[in-house]
Amino acid sequence: MSDLTPTPTSTTKSPDFAEITQLIESARQRAYQAVNTALIELYWQVGAYLSAKIKAAEWGEGVVEQLAQHLASTQPGLKGFTRANLFRMRQFYDAYQAQQKVAPLVRELPWTHNLIILSRSKRPEEREFYLKMAAQEKWSKRELERQFDTALFERVVLSPAKVSPLVTQTHPNAASVFKDSYLVEFLDLPATHLESDLQRGLLVQLRQFLLELGRDFCFVGSEYPLQVGKQDFALDLLFFHRGLNCLVAIELKTTRFSPEHLGQLNFYLEALDRDHKKPHENPAIGLLLCASKDDEVVEYALSRSLSPALVAQYQTQLPDKKLLQAKLHEFYLANVGMGDAE
């Protein structure tokens, strides 16, 4: 009797286990989030208890030291309840207990992230900003620290994204997606560099560049071919933004912004919308990334632009954080109702 079991051949397709893998990964993520939420809730409750005892003068700081020693001796293997961390729990609770809008966000982030935001933020609105961004962008600890080093909060408050009127009309949320400046210090570019050097560096460090752009950006291609009539053109970088549901064209300029740069970008956007945009997608957005810019020139150039375009600059070195903090201090002093100055 012959063996009727089919013999695998080179053309037999391997089973697709991607969906099972995704189910497992999703379950792991939910389990991790549940554990993290429970841990943060515990720290919150301990912080609330300590805060109440100390404010009522029932406990002094010495009692917290005794508590840490008691927990170490009675709960072997218990981590995270040192004297220093117990005081951090109290500080954590005191910082957020009156902010109902912010309090739920702290439970979405790991304790390490919360400590970084708590220790490095200068004012409540800065804490709220980084809590929201860290939860939204899913920053790692290292990336969160980098955002503080790049003074993201100061830059966003002092220099909001420069957008054309049509961007606001067609993409109401775009202003919160884009920045006025992008930090590319990770490229280690020399002071004098070519557009080809910038483009090549961004492609080599694409993962870092995507983190700088934001979580919903997806890379489509570089030197993206656009054919109009009988002529061939190449767009520097093309991305897709999932939240805005549109293509994002990025043109690189290693010079100071000039109004004629927008003409080229507008042409590319027209080509993308006519020949490459899917029916369900929104009109494409263009981002002109320049080495430097005069904000007044940018405002004039964008005010009459008929395309959804933005102008930003890239910076090859970290900004002077102390200088930005001083400017922010002046900004808050000059704007009544914006919060107390440091």
Predicted confidence (pLDDT) per residue in 15-51, tens digit: 777 787 887 887 887 787 788 889 999 999 999 999 9
β-pairing verdict for 246-256 and 231-241? antiparallel
Task: List beta partners, residue 249.
Answer: 238, 286
User: If pLDDT is split at 50, 70 and 90, which confidence band does 341 have?
Assistant: very low
- What are residue 10's phi and psi, to 5 degrees? -65, -20
Helix (H) / strand (E) containing 85:
helix 83-96
Contact 224, 272 (CB under 8 A): no
Burial 12-29 (b: 16+ CB within 10 A, else e): eeeeeeeeeeeeeeeeee
Q: How far apart are CA 96 and CA 93, in angstroms?
A: 6
Note whether 226 and 285 are within 8 A (CB). Answer: no
What pLDDT, in 10s, does the model give residues 190-249? Answer: 989 999 999 999 999 999 999 999 999 999 999 999 999 999 999 999 999 999 999 999
Residues 292/298/299/301 CA torsion (nearest 10 deg): 180
Q: What is the pLDDT of residues 281-304, one digit of tens each?
A: 999 999 999 999 999 999 999 998
What confidence tier does 2 reach under pLDDT thresholds 50, 70, 90? very low
> What pTM was computed for the model?
0.82
Q: Is the pLDDT score of 333 beyond 90?
A: no
User: 3-state SS of the chain: helix, strand, coil percent to 5?
Assistant: 50, 15, 30
Range 165-173 average pLDDT: 89
